[in-house]
Structure 1
Amino acid sequence: MIVAGRSGEGVRLVLEAEEAMLLSELADQVDSVLLLGSGEDPAIDRLLPNAYPDDVEAAGEFERYTRDSLVDGKRQAAQSVRDATDVSDGRDLVEIELDESQAWGWLTFLTDLRLILAERVGVTDDGGYAEDEERDDYLRAAYEWAGFVQGSMLEILDPMDA
């Protein structure tokens, strides 16, 4: 993967077909979690945390007024990644030009993806991994790779804060 700045504001991504397919598949999975999401999936708690953990009534009101729009925004971000990473035409490289707004949408998706993967692979509060032999190394690698992509994009979009 190559992540580069471009003239003006925005980001240019160059992905190998395998990387594009991976991102597309991960976007499908994020969308599925959001679509089917219930309080029983701890990943949903990471994506949509309780705004008022000490006030059940306020938490319910907040969720009632914000959840649908938050989920819709997250699903749209996943869809934009899926659309941009389509490799059905057989390309070996996928070049994606994102303006600043689109790039921030991708960053929303990458954050959501990493939150879900963090839950699945047992990332602890200190950034380490929970000791569990059953955790999937493939998901850990995807978590780390998504962090690399996210960090690279942030360095271009906001070089002072990266």
Structure 2
Amino acid sequence: MIVAGRSGGEGVRLVLEAEEAMLLSELADQVDSVLLLGEADDPALGRLLPNAYPDDRAAAKEFERYTRDSLVDGKRQAAQRVRDATAVDDGDDAVVQIELDESEAWGWLTFLTDLRLILAERVGVVEEGEPDADETRDDYLRAAYEWAGFVQGSMLEVLDPIST
């Protein structure tokens, strides 16, 4: 994975190995599945769509009624944009170059945040860098969580080099 500034200075250019692009596409499918099919009591869904009023059930229901559909739609659209950009043929072993303008890059960062929230819940990360006591969780998911963080951090360095 190579993350660089776009020619012209605004946005990001991602250079991915075909396997990395396929991984991102599969992970986007997983985010979409959680949003579309997730059970109400799924803690990962709770991280993506937290209760705005935990102490007021009526207010929480009212807030959810007005905001949930648009939040879910926006998150699903971000996942779809990642899937579209990372689509590769199974036999393709070349690199995938993706040019994102600044707006598209921030959309990808939103997706990566959602992805990391789901993966953090699945592997038991309570706070950044603080895994819970369950060390038997899936190493593949833990590696995907760390890799997504690397991609996210690299994109942020390009988009906002002063704050990093």
- Smaller-chain TM-score range? over 0.9
1:34-70 deviation line (CA, Å, top 9, x unaligned): 0012322100110000111111111111100000000
Question: Which residue of 2 is the match for residue 71 of structure 1?
Answer: 72
- CA distance in structure 1 between the aligned counterparts of 2:158 and 2:60, rounded to whole angstroms: 37
Counting matched residue pairs gives 162
Calculate percent identity across the aligned residue pairs.
81
Question: Which residue of 2 is the match for residue 143 of structure 1?
Answer: 145
Letter in 1 for 2:5: G
Q: Tell which deviates more after alignment, 50-59 or 17-26.
A: 50-59
Letter in 1 for 2:96: V
- CA distance in structure 1 between the aligned counterparts of 2:120 and 2:33, rounded to whole angstroms: 16
Letter in 1 for 2:14: L
- CA distance in structure 2 between the aligned counterparts of 1:38 and 1:138, rounded to whole angstroms: 23
Q: Which of 91, 94, 97 lines up with 1:92 in the alignment?
A: 94
Question: Which residue of 1 is the match for residue 110 of structure 2?
Answer: 108
- 3-state SS of the aligned residue for 1:12? strand
Q: Where do 5+ consecutive residues of structure 2 fail to align?
A: none
TM-score (norm 1): 0.96
Instruction: State the superposition RMSD in angstroms.
Output: 1.2
TM-score (norm 2): 0.95
- CA distance in structure 1 between the aligned counterparts of 2:141 and 2:128, rounded to whole angstroms: 19
Letter in 2 for 1:9: E
- CA distance in structure 1 between the aligned counterparts of 2:153 and 2:72, rounded to whole angstroms: 24
Structure 1 residues 1-162: aligned runs within 5 Å = 1-6=1-6, 7-88=8-89, 90-125=92-127, 127-162=129-164
Residues 83 and 66 of structure 1: is their aligned pair in 2 closer, same or farther, counting only changes over 3 Å? same
Please identify runs of 4+ aligned residues in structure 1 that moved more than 3 A.
Answer: none
Residues 126 and 111 of structure 1: is their aligned pair in 2 closer, same or farther, counting only changes over 3 Å? closer
